[in-house]
Amino acid sequence: MEKVNVGVIGLGRLGMVHADHLVSLISDANVLAVCALDQSQLDYAKENFGVNTYQNYKEMIDKEDIDAVVIVAPTGFHPEMTKYALDAGKHVFCEKPLGLDMQEVKEMAEHIKAHPDKVFQLGFMRRFDESYRHAKELVDNKQIGDIIYIRAYGIDPITGMESFTKFATDNDSGGIFVDMCIHDIDLIRWYTEMDPVQTWSLGNNIAAPQLKEIGEFETGVATLKFDNGMVATLIGGRHAAHGNQVEMEIMGSHGWIRIAQEPEKDFVTLFTDAGVVRPSMQSFSERFEQAFITELKDFISNVKANRQSDISVEDGVKALQIAKACKESAETGEIVNIVLD
Ligand SMILES: NC(=O)c1ccc[n+]([C@@H]2O[C@H](COP(=O)([O-])OP(=O)(O)OC[C@H]3O[C@@H](n4cnc5c(N)ncnc54)[C@H](O)[C@@H]3O)[C@@H](O)[C@H]2O)c1
């Protein structure tokens, strides 16, 4: 296979970024078609990417000569779209999380396992970020000894509140733990190679009371306990006044690793009567641009080599089960035992 013919489903906050990367930066990918409900997004894609457009994903999959689909539609659609694409003989890249309903996700996982000849890759892109990868090497080489504790922050800028509120009003996002903290849950599993057994989680809407009306916590905090006594705490939120704040600290018996930076946009410093200001990154797509490109390059090369991704569907199922346990704990106020399949 010289080039991988691709169809993209979803052209919203992230889908347009993925489509643009596939068209402009990934030479082994050939985007033939895109699908979205929003006509203005389709018009933009037709004009800028020169692709065929659809409002019905089944029609796109049935009609177009594509090898793979990249699913960036709202989370609740991931299981049905993945199953349809696999049944049609397509390879699938699917954004995180796998889905919202656990039963649907388990059926999706069975479906994926029943199609071992098709590549399935899940969009845990932080595993492709150079800093997180470097940290993984250090952890695996025992540079910090045994992990004692992990702290993770994932806070979106408040400038994204309007688009998030629209997303969560139009669709079920899954809530802060399933939609946002799942990235850190996956990383914690990746670094520790262990699963937590218990969580006590909390949430609040102090910074965005309006999110309560749509059943969302703006801020979610989870404590995860592991069988060997190791502990992780993570906070997810959407309220950062200054920009996109994502960081992690891994404390070990012989040292620590911190994966963090002030979220500065670039090397510009502004000197005015307001003081000395470093403008900050305002979106996840800026912070993780390199990771988003690398993960799609990885997917395309996996398809070409007919090789399964390092991120397994079990990783997606377990991360979702853990995130759902955090959600249950925050909603009930109870400590929740985490039971994984
Ligand atoms: N990896 C990350 O960091 C990251 C970041 C943002 C979003 N995401 C994930 O990407 C997915 C999309 O999120 P978003 O913020 O881009 O959403 P969005 O609401 O901005 O865009 C959704 C897109 O899907 C289309 N769509 C909706 N229903 C559809 C259907 N039935 N058939 C075809 N197209 C349909 C919409 O028209 C729109 O183009 C979600 O699962 C989200 O969790 C991941």
Cα 165 to middle of ligand 1, angstroms: 13
Cβ(99) – ligand 1 distance below 6 Å = no
Structural domain contains residue 175: yes
Number of domains in the chain: 2
Structural domain contains residue 294: no
Q: Domain boundary at 65, 95, 118, which?
A: 118
Q: Are both 179 and 326 inside the same structural domain?
A: yes
Q: Are both 80 and 194 inside the same structural domain?
A: no
**The domain containing residue 70 runs over which residues?**
4-118
Cα 341 to middle of ligand 1, angstroms: 28
Q: Are both 106 and 86 inside the same structural domain?
A: yes
**197-207 pLDDT, tens digit each:** 999 999 999 99
Would you state the pLDDT for residue 20?
98
Cβ(184) – ligand 1 distance below 6 Å = no
Contacts made by residues 14-21, CB under 8 angstroms, sequence distance 24+: 14/72, 14/95, 14/285, 15/41, 15/72, 15/73, 16/41, 16/44, 16/45, 17/285, 17/292, 18/70, 18/72, 18/292, 18/296, 19/45, 19/49, 19/70, 20/48, 20/49, 21/292, 21/293, 21/296
Q: Are both 207 and 163 inside the same structural domain?
A: yes
Would you state the pLDDT for residue 1?
76
Would you state the pLDDT for residue 341?
82
Would you state the pLDDT for residue 256?
98
Q: Which residue's alpha carbon is at the smallest distance from atom 27 of ligand 1?
A: 73
**245-260 pLDDT, tens digit each:** 999 999 999 999 999 9
Cβ(153) – ligand 1 distance below 6 Å = no
Cβ(12) – ligand 1 distance below 6 Å = yes
Cβ(11) – ligand 1 distance below 6 Å = yes
Q: Are both 83 and 109 inside the same structural domain?
A: yes
Which residues of the chain register pLDDT less than 50?
none
Structural domain contains residue 160: yes
Residue to mutate, 72, 128, 173, 283, ligand 1, most ligand atoms under 8 Å from C-beta: 72
Q: Are both 110 and 133 inside the same structural domain?
A: no
